[in-house]
Structure 1
Amino acid sequence: MATIRKRNGKYQVQVRLQGSAPMSKTFTRLEDAKAWARLTELEAEQIGLPADPRLLAKITVGEMLQRYRDEVVPKKRGAEYETIMVNAMLRHPWAKRSLAHIEGATFAEHRDARLRTVLPCTVKRELAMLQHAFDVAIKDWSIPLRANPIKAISKPGGAKKRDRRLVKGELARLFRTAKQCKGDHMRALILLAIETGMRQGELLAAKWSHINLAARHWFIPLTKNGESRTIPLTRRCVRTLRILKKVAGDAKGVFDLTREAVKCSWRRIIKRSGIEDLNFHDLRHEAISRFFERGLSVPEVSLISGHKDARMLFRYTHMTAAHVLAKLG
């Protein structure tokens, strides 16, 4: 990797690494030349040499992200959302810059600009995806970047955990407004979210083959934490699912809805109902809080919700203070 040549009474050292720009230095003493060569070779083995700008100049950030979108994203569970995220990033000016002229400061500016329009948790997710894209480019595609530029910048802190509960009358207003949507799928989706505590993605991915109405069990093969779970169904769930089954006919999926369709319908429902500051995911918080209010234990709620760490459920316990007070008398 290192070569030493004697020229004009001095020793010139050159260290080369494929895909990187060569490094060279001249010394008057041979011992100093050998020592620098050993240290530089060691550094090259650990972190690599500076990337060759001629190679990086041929690839833009956008081209790297397009390859990531087409080859890596489809294998991920959040493929639909991440595809939208990558396509949005491709519209930014920095996507047209070559990898030879990209650095952490570029994405620090992007981070600050995004924080003025979206929540910190959204920016954190975007940066995490970008960081993974650069990791894949370096490790799997042998793109000779010396370091991941996203790792060099600070990430925004997570947003405060939401604890939004439905107040009296809001659920009825949701149901009334959801009836105005085409078909009855949104009303059923809201009801099942409240009754089961399932995530929106879990509900939309559900197949009729996963549901045993006679045994009142719903099997969820793929969850956020990577493990499957089986949840019990209330009688209200079973009645709703029987109605959906009659309408579904031979369809394999429980819901013929996409995430984008649910997103648009939810916005219309919230606007027409006059309810403020309510996200669809808040229904999961409402459901889990209601489980505790019904007297279910932490292990029982964990079985339904899929939380692997019981400590994650502690944020729901403050919702039951009134019930505890009633028991104390």
Structure 2
Amino acid sequence: MDAGVFVSRNEAEATSFGSALELYAKEVTSKKRSSVSELSRINALQRHPLALRSLASIRGSDMANYRDTRLREGLAHSTVRRELALISHVFTIARKEWRMESLSNPVELIRQPSVDDSRERRILSADVWTLKDTKLVCEHLDELEMIRRHSRSPELPKIMTFATETAMRRSEITSLLRINVNLEKRVALLPMTKNGSARGVPLTSKAVAVLSSLAERDDGRCFKSRPDSVTKAFADAITDARNAYTEGLTLHLKQKKLTQDKIDKQISDDTYLMDLRFHDLRHEATSRLAEIFPLHELTKITGHQDTRMLMRYYHPKIEDLAKKLK
């Protein structure tokens, strides 16, 4: 104390983790664009037994136990990492801004769950068998066209086309304002994106056609749908499309005199319309645009801040790369 290096632990010992979470929600989370999802995580943490403990008493072993328990409960590794990142930032803010300089960050002492959430899902094509006038008819359709045909939402097919033409995120599409679109210059402006910056998106002729077909709305938005409704409509359309696909394929295989076991095996191994998410349309669009633009220009279109992040979305077909070789 005489030397001036003593740091009091009184504040950290008198403040519970639950109180710190409450203060963090008020001072930090409320100012974030992703406040809704983070508030949900904070509410869950406040119901955890750790919330009753003082900040000074929480150790790395407590965080390791928390990590292992959450993983055993079946949570995804990426979800647990986000929870740990939130806890870590609470301790960082407490040490830097709430006069708790003696406080150590227990999350820094443990291993983070490994996460590899990159996807290589591209849009597939297949022979689709449909029954028309008691006769099986075959069409070669890609998954997007099949989903469009079975969409219960009249707007979903237009949103899907727009997504694959622009590589825009679901939230960016549904929040797009008509005032920020210049159809003559074929540009859409996004004033605020996920990474906190604005960007302009060049529009293809198909994207312009989609926007031109939309009726003007009182709220100024281009599309009526909200993000959650797009996700639900897309999932419903995939379910209906997959059921129709397997029904037609089953009839076709029965005509070929295959046994039921072989039919079931072939259908279970068929990946058409399986494990497809709306966000995969952004992957598909990015891979298509990469055939036109070099990567440094592509980052400006997709909004990725560096090419390393972009490479998670860029998945060219090897056969297409082979065609470029002499």
TM-score, scaled relative to structure 1: 0.74
What is the aligned-residue identity percentage?
36
How far apart, in 1, do the equivalents of 2:147 and 2:178 lie?
26
Any gaps of 5 or more consecutive residues in structure 2? 126-141, 243-272
* Count of residue pairs the alignment pairs up: 279
Instruction: Give the 3 Å change call, closer, same or farther, for CA 154–170 of structure 1 in structure 2.
Output: same
Spell out the pairing of 1:277-316 with structure 2 (5 A cutoff): 277-293=275-291, 295-314=292-311
Contact 1:60 1:96 in 2 (8 A): yes
Match of 1:18 in 2: none
Instruction: Give the 3 Å change call, closer, same or farther, for CA 108–264 of structure 1 in structure 2.
Output: farther
Aligned-residue Cα RMSD (Å) equals 2.7
How far apart, in 2, do the equivalents of 1:255 and 1:62 lie?
41
Question: Aligned with 1:219: secondary structure?
Answer: strand
Q: Which of 196, 219, 226 is the matching residue for 1:251?
A: 219
Instruction: Give the 3 Å change call, closer, same or farther, for CA 98–187 of structure 1 in structure 2.
Output: farther
Match of 1:173 in 2: 146
Question: Aligned with 2:290: secondary structure?
Answer: helix
Q: CA deviation at 1:80?
A: 2.4
Question: Aligned with 2:189: secondary structure?
Answer: strand
1:156 matched to 2:113? The reply is yes
How far apart, in 1, do the equivalents of 2:169 and 2:304 lie?
12
- Amino acid paired to 2:34: G
Per-residue Cα deviation, 1:144-169 (whole angstroms, up to 9, x for no partner): 66212222222123315211112113
Match of 1:322 in 2: 319
Match of 1:241 in 2: 211
Contact 1:119 1:159 in 2 (8 A): no
Contact 1:197 1:283 in 2 (8 A): yes
Q: Which of 19, 22, 26 is the matching residue for 1:63?
A: 19
Q: CA deviation at 1:180?
A: 0.8
How far apart, in 1, do the equivalents of 2:67 and 2:14 lie?
26
Any gaps of 5 or more consecutive residues in structure 1? 3-37
Question: Aligned with 1:150: secondary structure?
Answer: helix
Per-residue Cα deviation, 1:20-60 (whole angstroms, up to 9, x for no partner): xxxxxxxxxxxxxxxxxx4xx43x3xxx35x22xx556533
Q: Which of 241, 264, 268 is the matching residue for 2:236?
A: 268
Contact 1:292 1:320 in 2 (8 A): no
Question: Aligned with 1:230: secondary structure?
Answer: strand
Q: CA deviation at 1:232?
A: 0.9
How far apart, in 2, do the equivalents of 1:264 and 1:65 lie?
32
Instruction: Give the 3 Å change call, closer, same or farther, for CA 194–101 of structure 1 in structure 2.
Output: same
Question: Aligned with 1:135: secondary structure?
Answer: helix
Spell out the pairing of 1:32-181 with structure 2 (5 A cutoff): 38=3, 41-42=4-5, 44=6, 48-49=7-8, 51-52=9-10, 55-56=11-12, 58-116=14-72, 117-143=74-100, 146-168=103-125, 169-177=142-150, 179-181=151-153
How far apart, in 2, do the equivalents of 1:327 and 1:300 lie?
20
Contact 2:45 2:51 in 1 (8 A): yes
- Amino acid paired to 2:149: R
Question: Aligned with 2:107: secondary structure?
Answer: coil
How far apart, in 2, do the equivalents of 1:114 and 1:328 lie?
49
Question: Aligned with 2:201: secondary structure?
Answer: strand
Q: CA deviation at 1:100?
A: 4.6
TM-score, scaled relative to structure 2: 0.74
Q: CA deviation at 1:289?
A: 0.6
Contact 2:148 2:237 in 1 (8 A): no
Instruction: Give the 3 Å change call, closer, same or farther, for CA 77–321 of structure 1 in structure 2.
Output: same
- Relative to structure 2, which stretch is displaced further, 207-216 or 139-148? 139-148
Q: CA deviation at 1:313?
A: 3.8
Q: CA deviation at 1:196?
A: 0.7
Contact 1:120 1:158 in 2 (8 A): yes
- Amino acid paired to 2:145: A
How far apart, in 2, do the equivalents of 1:228 and 1:218 lie?
11
How far apart, in 1, do the equivalents of 2:51 and 2:241 lie?
41
Match of 1:6 in 2: none
Match of 1:201 in 2: 171
How far apart, in 1, do the equivalents of 2:99 and 2:207 lie?
51
Contact 2:67 2:80 in 1 (8 A): yes
Contact 2:190 2:198 in 1 (8 A): yes
How far apart, in 2, do the equivalents of 1:129 and 1:154 lie?
15
How far apart, in 2, do the equivalents of 1:146 and 1:284 lie?
42
How far apart, in 1, do the equivalents of 2:17 and 2:209 lie?
52
Per-residue Cα deviation, 1:100-128 (whole angstroms, up to 9, x for no partner): 54222222112112233233222222211
- Amino acid paired to 1:222: M
